[in-house]
Amino acid sequence: MAEAVLYDWPRSSAAYRVRIALNLKGLAFRTVPIDLRVGQQGSAEFTALNPQGLVPALAIDGHLLTQSLAIIDYLDRTRPEPALLPADPAARAAALALALVIAADTHPIQNLRVMNRLKSQFGADDAATYEWNRHWIGNGFAALEAQAPEQGLFGGAAPNLVDICLVPQMANARRFELPLDPYPKLVRIDAALREHPAFAAAAP
C-alpha cells in the first residue's frame, strides 16, 4: 500500500485535526509542509492538487482528499477502529453538530486569510484582529461548554470527532489570549486530551 501523504502546516487547526485522526487510527503518514506564512498554499503546484488552496490535503488509497472533516469521515469509514463517530444516526448527528460549532462556525472566521482580509480591506491592526478572534472563539466555546459532559470526554471514555476539533481550537484560544475561566469543562477535556499520545504527537 502506498504511503499516506499529508499536505500540512503545523499551525493550521484543520491540519492539526487530521494529524490527530491519523494518529488515533494508527496510520503512518509523511508530511509535505505548505508554508502558509509565505502563501505557498496559493502556488500553482499546490492549487493543481487542491484548487481551493487550503490545507490539509491527504493523499491516501489512490485518492486526494480535502477538507478536514471530510478526510476524517473517510478515515472513519475505511478504518472503522477506533470509531470517531457513533453508529447510531441520532448520536452521530449530535456529535457532528458539536464538531461543526468549531469547524464551520468558529474556526473559519478566525483563520489566516480572514485576518489578512480584515487588515488589508478594513485597516484592522493586530489588537483588533485578536479581539475579533476572542469574540468568535468565545461565542463558539459558550455553546460547547453548555453541552459538554460533566465527566469524561465528548466521546465518553475515548476521543471522538468533537474532541479532535476541540484541541486545536483551544490552542487557538490560548494563542489569541482568550480568558478560559468561563469554560471549565472545555479546559478539563482539553487537558486530558493533550495527555493522550495521539494528540500529543500531533501537536504543532
Instruction: Name the CATH architecture for the domain at 4-78.
Output: 3-Layer(aba) Sandwich (3.40)
pTM to 2 decimal places: 0.95
Domain coordinates of the chain in residue numbers?
4-78, 89-202
Classify residue 30 by its DSSP letter. E
What does the pLDDT average to over 50-69?
A: 95
- Evaluate whether 202 touches 19 at the Cβ level (below 8 Å): yes
Q: What is the mean pLDDT of residues 8-20?
A: 96
The pLDDT tens digits for 119-153 are: 999 999 999 999 999 999 999 999 999 999 999 99
Local confidence band at 111 (pLDDT 50, 70, 90 cut-offs): confident
Model pLDDT for residues 172-184, shown as the tens digit of each residue: 999 999 999 999 9
The correct CATH number of 89-202 out of 1.20.1050.10, 2.102.10.10, 1.10.150.170, 3.40.50.300 is: 1.20.1050.10
Residue 32 and residue 9: Cα distance in Å, rounded? 8
Instruction: Tell me what pLDDT residue 36 has.
Output: 86
